[in-house]
Amino acid sequence: MVGVAKSKKVKPEAKAPTQEGRPFGAGPDWGRVEFSLKRHAGAHGQVTAVSMMKDEGPFVIEWVAHHLAIGFTDLVVYTNDCSDGTEKILFRLEELGLCHHRANVIPEGIRPQPSALNHAQMEPVVQQSDWVMVFDADEFLSIKYGDGTLDGVLTAATAQGANGIVVTWRIFGSAGLVDWSRAPVSEQYLMAAPETWNKGWGVKTLFKFDPDKWNLGIHRPKMKTKWIETEFPDQVKWLNGSGQEMEDYFKFRGWRSITRTVGYDWAQLNHYAVKSVDSYAVRKLRGNVNNKADKYNSDYWSLQDRNEVRDETMLRYTQVRNQMIETLLRDPVLNQLHYAALERTEMRLDELRATDAYRTLVADLAQASAVPITQIVAKPPQPRDRDKIAALMSDVEKKRGAKAREERKAGPQREPAVQVPMGSYATGSVDLMREADAEYYPNHTLKLPADPRIFAAHVLPSIRAGKFERGLARRMPLVLTNGAKVLEVGSAVGFLCGHCANIRPDLTITMYEDRPEFLHMMATIYAVSERTFTNELQLARAPLAGAFSQSICSLMIAEHPTALLIADRRMGPAELGLLLDTTRDRKPTQLFFYGQMLEAWHQSMTEIIQICAQAGYAPDYGFDPNICHGFRLET
């Protein structure tokens, strides 16, 4: 095992001389064994990945092969306390001239990952690199730009004068797999969270490294204090994963993308945090690189096991990666170490499968997988302490931040990235027979109960604060036309239309809701709020028969609304097309999509917009697209 090198800082412009093909700063063991596969000679100098591993033996070869295939010239990997031969595999790769293995000597009181970064800051290979990116063993860089290589995407970035690319995570789930497999990770797991899911927007940064100006960090480097109040920040230009310039604040702080900065057109960082249940069971028992207590629990699984969207972008690398793996395993030493790691893992799994703990874990994770994406809470919400944040910021950051805000206000507005709409109501069966001592809180013109039986957990705080569905409640009464005849499909507990009726007596509103639990709660809320049904606010007169789409068509013909509000998840593109075709001779002049309909069909909004356009509707009314989409009939 190679120890941590002790050296003075070396500036990139003062690189030590090296023989051709040998990395700057390489240790004495690097490349001492002749091998057919050679280090990549990149077009942008020494491009280095820094990572940390603990008991990743079964996965090392694929991770190394992939990142060599996309064009990293150097891989520097730190290990600690491995029991499955991970460090031996990495050391052999160093002997073959394809990796640099370093021992993570951890000072008391320091977590493994920050310790490795401290060592990497002083590592000659890293210090003398032109570009550096820090990321983990369960993260695979996927480049969509050009031919899928670093040479191509860095050429595009530097052509813009950029010296960094901020790459956003894409969370990949288990794809429903329970059993262990030797198949490549990047081919087994092709189901991911939507690009719009903001809880999966952590980042890692590929950037031009100068150890005198930057300290390495997990998500992005930190500019050294002595450079903040100089001209150096003006020389920093980082792009997002779509090749667009990052906002100025990110030069100083931040670890994740926001709606104004997220982008996946050029690159994404595939995060395979859970893999199969069997893989997860092994990882749960061996600890993690940050020594976080009980990190790998059911809540973590729910957060990371996202399988909403199929993403096959990694398959572009299949042929070159498999050729790379085949070549690596021709080395007899590496071959023996790789298969020994696999066999150790599989023996351990055989032991685990015979235990009650394993069976309990499988059951718990199955339940955790059933948690819908709209119900995931990454961390307990914490209010922003603006005074604390301001105290941490330098005067330069504050001035630049204020200038950036003014420029955003004055300049053209970038279209916000659409997030996954968060449902307001509990999913699955609702049991109102179960007692719930829920207190009622004023919300706009109605009173709502903070009742976990009917409302989703994440909206209970907004109910208590009087801010339930605030965006809809504030804007909808303003945009409905004077004297509008309104039909709402999927009224749930009747909040929006009850509120509109309270402040817009000129409206005539019919609500359709066929779920008994919601109708029961609607009656209760209206009674507590002293809101009665009248000729101006009523429920559809009778339950509708037949298929949902046909029933709604019949209701439309009977009511002839001028404003149609759709919040029912059963109203997808096909149903909407039928509805608009059926009512083509007397279409509503206003259309609105929100609530559970938007939650269920947000990924199909492009298709829905096209259907509306074909029927003569244009987007309008200025709602946040994460809350509501509004359309007006063009005359």
Provide the pLDDT confidence category of residue 259 given band limits of 50, 70 and 90: confident
pTM of the model: 0.69
Query: 60-64, 254-258, 460-464: which range is least confident on average?
Result: 460-464
Is the pLDDT assigned to residue 64 strictly greater than 50?
yes
Provide the pLDDT confidence category of residue 44 given band limits of 50, 70 and 90: very high
Q: What does the pLDDT read at residue 331?
A: 98
Q: Which residues pair with 139 in a beta bridge?
A: 271
How, if at all, do strands 47-53 and 74-79 pair?
parallel
- Distant-in-sequence, close-in-space partners of 304: CB < 8 Å, separation ≥ 6: 171, 173, 271, 273, 274
Distances (CA, A) of 398 to 225, 226, 260, 393, 394: 15, 16, 19, 7, 6
Distances (CA, A) of 68 to 147, 191, 496: 14, 24, 55
DSSP state of 84: S
Query: 164-173, 176-185, 599-608: which range is least confident on average?
Result: 599-608
Fold of the CATH domain 440-633: Rossmann fold (3.40.50)
Give 412-457 pLDDT, tens digit per residue: 655 544 455 567 888 766 666 666 678 999 999 999 999 988 988 7
**Crossing angle for the helix pair 318-328 and 60-69, nearest 10 degrees?**
120
Mean of all residue pLDDT scores within the chain: 88
304 vs 395, residue with greater confidence = 304
Cα 619–Cα 624–Cα 625 angle in degrees, nearest 5: 60
For the chain, what are the domain ranges? Answer: 12-375, 440-633
CA 435 to chain centre: 36
DSSP state of 85: S
